[in-house]
Structure 1
Amino acid sequence: MTTTKASPAPPAAERPGSQLGELHLRGISRAYGAHTALKPLDLTIRGGEFIALLGPSGCGKTTALNCLAGLLPLTAGEIVLDGKRVDTLPPEKRGFGMVFQNYALFPHLTVRANVAFGLKMRGVGKEETRRRVDQVLSLVRLTEHAHKHPGQLSGGQQQRVAIARAIVMEPPLVLMDEPLSNLDAALRLQMRSEIRRIHQEFGLTTLYVTHDQEEALSLADRLVVLHDGTVSQIGTPAELYEHPADPYVAGFMGYRNLLPLEVASADTGGVVAAGRGLTVRGTPVGEQPPRAGQNVIVAIRPEDLRPAEEGEQTVAEAVAEIVEYHGRVLHVEAVTRHGDRLHLKSHRQVHPGDTLPVAVDPERALVFPEADLPDLPDEEATP
């Protein structure tokens, strides 16, 4: 295997700062006849931020991105960039950079020519074009590949060309639409780090669309979780991970155990919810504490549900059905006698068919007021 020497990043003094002060999305929405794909969205993006729009297919995240890019007209609302309204401008007048899912590179042009294309179309001088292209090729570590064509590059290298082509224009905002979805798992991990590094070193402001919550958590300064065109929660990765606002966000943030139960008792020590052979002491979420007899949903992460120690208060007994080896920990899918499926982690040996008493610490079981359970694909609900 051959290796190439990475080009050094530009010195800090040569890196441009953010081209954006503040971008305001004020009640932007998009409807198709009677169907509203994006309900009014209010969001302020500050210069230098990395914002992720997160949700499953059909939640409205790509609609929001396309409205911001000018590829779709707004039904209502306005977009204001540093005090100037831009939603009335065509896409090319907004000056935003765009990185598409399929990269959209010109196959007959070299890497250098692909990156320089937008500058050439704008009539930027040859010397200035050369300087800016050299700078971004160094930043994305493609200087040694400048003479190659896209077909001679790996998927990750092609993606970096697409990013370079977007940022060489020095845009106030870079829009990225699921740019990692065409890469294999190992390359996705590598490119996540590259995207974050480029964002920081070039002083970008980035809006990033993804359905992968692990990707969003690792990249973004703030996350916007969308559900059926509506914002469910906006916050930092830590806020959404530790304090989801509702069962939908909890399910998307990896709380795979979503149990519809009934409050048996509630006091200053927390809530006891029970039903179908399950009994869970948990922590209520929301301004109004639940009352006895109220229907609730208890959310528990697999890593917080575990085989109980002797004498420990248990949630239920369940029979291990699927046991997956994940290195130092086993992921166990178990079924209670009433048919509830529980996902838990175990540091001790478990075999299919074993009967397990399971337990959870009360602060790790979140109790939400009753709501419709989110219907998320397994791969989107597991960090």
Structure 2
Amino acid sequence: MSFEELRLDGVSRSFGGHAALAGLDLTIKRGEFIALLGPSGCGKSTALNCLAGLLPLTRGSIWQDEARLDVLPPERRGFGMVFQNYALFPHLPVRKNIAFGLQMRRVPRAEIRRRVDEALRLVHLEDQAGKLPGQLSGGQQQRVAIARAVVLEPSLVLMDEPLSNLDAKLRLEMRTEIRRLHQSLGLTTVYVTHDQEEALSLADRLVVLRAGRVQQIGTPEQLHTEPANWHVADFMGYRNLLPLKAGARRGAGVVVEVEGRELLGTPVGDLAPGSDVIAGTRPEDLTIGPAGGTGVPATVEVVEYQGREVAVEARTPGGIPLNLRSVDRPAVGDRITVTVEPRRLLVFPADGA
């Protein structure tokens, strides 16, 4: 059943008095790809299971246009689901695994054959249709699981960390495959992951969760460049998060002091002079200069070769670790200075959100 929007109003789920998900408000438009992102235990899988009907709500409601869904059992919601562990029937060949849901819905045989053939074609498994799941690679099994979900022509596809069991090369291939299927079929997708790179590459919008609460909802570009607080920044690749004190305002910027050197950063929120702050920046936004320069002094401790660039861990005289990326390759023990552009150094209230 098609819809224009799916709405979660104050969706909450508690276990033994502990709120695993608290007050999730989210509107999903038809055709959107939404990624629920966060560390283990943040509530993202709980949210997905509430949507699927596998968990009852403690509070709140779920609506598909004007129809309330949270009062319906899972089988009446019309959603497809792809699990982390694939959940394929080991004794059934690929074709019958894909057809199973259609058979349970008593779809006519000719229609089942047509839709299964189309699903096999979409996931490029036509020549594997007669094999058992145990005869397939991990990536092929995952494609069977995806085909089984989309063959139902669901109004919404729910994916719970579907790539976490695959190796790095297969993960990249399947990411492209999932995005291709989403676009070609016009699917509406809710996707759970703890991998920020995966979420950035796949989603139209991201929902970052922490301790069961929404921290920020936005496009990949918004969350990448404008994290709402240091918790979001931490999850979006800001590996350098330094506890400091806010200094004076200077124009639109705020001064912070590291190892006796003043740095100008971009404030996120209201920052009173002298208040505790977290200054965050990405490794690639720090620039390495020669010792004795105007930046923060540091000594190189670790250098990791990563192809066209190296990952560098350096430490200031006061013991602050700094993570950098550079096309130049310093040597362990080199003394350097580190600088950063003000717009690349975000300064957050230390209490977060």
What TM-score, normalized by structure 2, do the two folds share? 0.97
Q: Deviations over 1:181-235 (max 9, x none)?
A: 1000111011000010011111111000000000000000000000000000000
Picking from 346, 361, 383, the partner of 2:341 is 361
Shift of 1:145: 1.2
Q: Distance in 2 between matches of 1:269 and 1:42?
A: 32
Aligned twin of 2:297? 317
- Cα contact 2:240–2:322 (8 A) shared by 1: yes
Pick the aligned partner of 1:260 from 243, 250, 265: 243
Count of aligned residue pairs for this structure pair: 353
Output the amino acid matched with 2:322: L
Cα drift, residue 279 of structure 1 = 3.1
Mapping 1:186-225, distance limit 5 Å: 186-225=169-208
C-alpha distance in structure 2 between counterparts of 1:122 and 1:129, whole Å: 10
Please list the CA deviations of residues 306-347 of structure 1 after superposition, one character each: whole Å capped at 9, or x if unmatched.
212688631x11111110111221111011111110001222
In 2, Cα distance between the equivalents of 1:267 and 1:81? 49
Q: Runs of 4 or more off by more than 6 Å in structure 1?
A: none
Matched residue type, 1:336: T
CA distance in 2, matches of 1:241, 1:312: 30
CA distance in 2, matches of 1:298, 1:75: 37
- The residue aligned with 1:305 is 286
Residues 1:211 and 1:162: Cα distance change in structure 2 (over 3 Å): same
Q: Counterpart of 2:222 in 1: which secondary structure?
A: helix
Asked if 1:48 corresponds to 2:28, the answer is no
Deviation at 1:276, TM superposition (A): 4.3
- What residue number does 1:103 align with? 86
CA-to-partner distance for each residue in 1:19-61, whole Å, 9 max, x for gaps?
3321000000001122111000000001110000000000000
Residue identity over aligned pairs, in percent, reads 63
Residue aligning to 1:89: 72
| Local SS of the residue matching 2:61 | strand
1:378 corresponds to which residue? none
Q: Is the 8 A contact 2:229 2:352 kept in 1?
A: no
| Aligned residue identity for 1:306 | T
For residues 345 and 221 of structure 1, the distance between their equivalents in structure 2, rounded to whole angstroms, comes to 28
| Match in the other structure for 1:11 | none
Q: Once structures 1 and 2 are overlaid, which stretch shifts more, 277-286 or 49-58?
A: 277-286
Match of 2:123 among 140, 145, 150: 140
Inter-partner Cα distance in structure 2 for 1:208 and 1:313: 45
Aligned match of 1:381: none
Q: Structure 1: which 5+ runs fail to align? A: 1-17, 374-383
Confirm or deny: 8 A CA contact 1:272 1:281 kept in the other structure.
yes
Cα shift at 1:146: 1.1
User: Contact 1:27/1:41 (CA < 8 Å) preserved in 2?
Assistant: yes
Quote the Cα distance in structure 2 between the aligned partners of 1:319 and 1:247. Answer: 26
Matched, 1:370 2:350: yes
Residue 297 of structure 1 deviates from its aligned partner by: 1.1
CA distance in 2, matches of 1:271, 1:312: 22
Q: Is 1:244 equivalent to 2:224 in the alignment?
A: no
Report the more deviating stretch, 47-56 or 338-347.
Answer: 338-347
Letter in 2 for 1:107: P
Cα deviation for residue 269 of structure 1 reads 4.8
Deviations along 1:143-186, whole A, 9 cap, x unmatched? 12111111111111110110010111111111000000100011
Shift of 1:371: 2.0
CA RMSD of the aligned region, Å?
Answer: 1.6
Gaps of 5+ in 2: none
